[in-house]
Amino acid sequence: MAPPTRIGLAGLAVMGQNLALNIAEKGFPISVYNRTTSKVDETVERAKQEGNLPVYGCHDPESFVNSIQKPRVVIMLVKAGAPVDATIKTLSAYLEKGDCIIDGGNEWYENTERREKAMEEKGLLYLGMGVSGGEEGARNGPSLMPGGSFDAYKNIEDIVLKVAAQVDSGPCVTYIGKGGSGNFVKMVHNGIEYGDMQLIAEAYDVLKSVGKLSNEELKDVFTEWNKGELLSFLIEITADIFGIKDDKGEGYLVDKVLDKTGMKGTGKWTVQQAAELSVATPTIAASLDSRFLSGLKEERVEAAKVFKAGGVEDTLSDQVVNKKKLIDDVRQALYAAKICSYAQGMNLIRAKSVEKGWDLKLGELARIWKGGCIIRAIFLDRIKKAYDRNPNLANLLIDPEFSKEMIERQSAWRRVVCLAIGSGISTPGMSSSLAYFDSYRRERLPANLVQAQRDYFGAHTYERVDMPGSFHTEWFKLAKSKI
């Protein structure tokens, strides 16, 4: 019989296995459990092979819970929704007052708040902890976003400080805040990730379809970009992807991948929350729409036939471009659009924090995203510094450093979007980011006309620029009296 372990983990798909091995490798003996017992045996075997790590398998929930030292801490890594409730029900039958449950999945934040209240009634502590970094991050150091009971966090702080990715500013984990804040922050992180991936895909499309770059050239370009301001995990893996040859045929694998993007829901939740809170997130919304449109593969194949028959080709014109100049312009456009995506995500987090009273620290969130997670990037350090300089910064775009960079890059950004439009290449992320920038930087927008229309047909009233108060005009009567 093994001595009581420090922590338990239930749910041994790849993420669960890898996180369990990471915890064990950092010196914390861990008990593991899965409904399908073969996964338990598989994890224990991996632990032996990867250095005789202190991982102890349990084939039933009772022995699993009883194998953990008190007060017990159990991490769940199961599919969001009903499976989480089912796992809680199974485990809580054997847990005692003061024990702690941590949900490490991509859960809807309100479910976490509901469960925290239900567990509190039973004397149990509860945390919703976002885990970012994919399989590799879970094994070697993820970015962790725990929110909920602070007492629960203190129970695992010694573990997560060692298990999280380590960067120059410390471990990529912090206590996020109360309630479902950890899950909410992870959700928005994923929304920013959607935007980031879409913008990179558009940069690829312009370089390939207009610039006629080969996969070898694209690999070189992205490798070079990853040495400068765009240094990030997503740019790094994109360079890797362009270099992989097809193992089942001729050519490169990227060209054989079906152009149909999957999704699990966090991007959609992000856009829905933005709408609820009246926060503009056009880059993230454009990335979501692009995934929806990519799913219409069969319709797009038929549409292409219809328009080609009418003389509209895949790309509208073979424009002669200076490759070197195009590559530099696209680099600048990608960087500027990425700043917009991060600015939108941060503004959404702030709006929710104000609504819920979470008191989230945006600079600290940027810091814990510097390592381990999918959106880790060198410029997150500068985003942290921007919010450190001014915690009440209304928008990342008006930080002195970032505003200077936007001004320097806007001409290249406009050239890329215009080139894409002229060539019939859709760049919804870059275009909507540019529209966001242009709308935000203009003192006056055509919203005055929209409000006048609303007052015309619905008597919604309007304010004036030259005097205080609320006004209504009988537009119809005035217009008709002049006829």
Pairing of strands 55-58, 73-76: unpaired
Q: Has 256 been labeled as part of a binding site?
A: no
Q: Has 395 been labeled as part of a binding site?
A: no
Q: Which residues contact 306 (CB under 8 A, 6 or more apart)?
A: none
Pairing of strands 143-148, 73-76: unpaired
Q: Has 13 been labeled as part of a binding site?
A: yes
Q: Has 149 been labeled as part of a binding site?
A: no
Q: Has 367 been labeled as part of a binding site?
A: no
CA max distance for the chain: 95
**Cβ atoms within 10 A of the Cβ of 439, count?**
12
Phi-psi domain of 297 (left: phi exceeds 0; alpha: psi -120 through 50; beta: other): alpha
Q: Has 14 been labeled as part of a binding site?
A: yes
Q: Has 472 been labeled as part of a binding site?
A: no
Cis peptide before 71 (omega within 30 of 0): yes
Respond yes or no: is residue 186 known to be catalytic: yes
Q: Has 441 been labeled as part of a binding site?
A: no
In which element (H, E) is residue 175 found? none
- The Cα 319–Cα 204 span in angstroms is 17
Q: Has 390 been labeled as part of a binding site?
A: no
Q: Has 81 been labeled as part of a binding site?
A: no
Q: Has 16 been labeled as part of a binding site?
A: yes
Residue from 178, 186, 219, 338 carrying the catalytic annotation: 186
- The Cα 88–Cα 106 span in angstroms is 16
- The Cα 220–Cα 330 span in angstroms is 14
Q: Has 189 been labeled as part of a binding site?
A: yes
Contact 312, 423 (CB under 8 A): no
Residue from 25, 113, 193, 405 carrying the catalytic annotation: 193
Q: Has 291 been labeled as part of a binding site?
A: yes
Q: Which residues contact 430 (CB under 8 A, 6 or more apart)?
A: 199, 202, 333, 334, 337, 413, 416, 417, 420
Q: Has 1 been labeled as part of a binding site?
A: no
Hey, which residues are catalytic here? 186, 193
Q: Which residues are known binding-site members for substrate? A: 106, 132-134, 189-190, 194, 264, 291, 454, 460
Q: Which residues are known binding-site members for NADP(+)? A: 11-16, 34-36, 78-80, 106
Q: Which residues are known binding-site members? A: 11-16, 34-36, 78-80, 106, 132-134, 189-190, 194, 264, 291, 454, 460
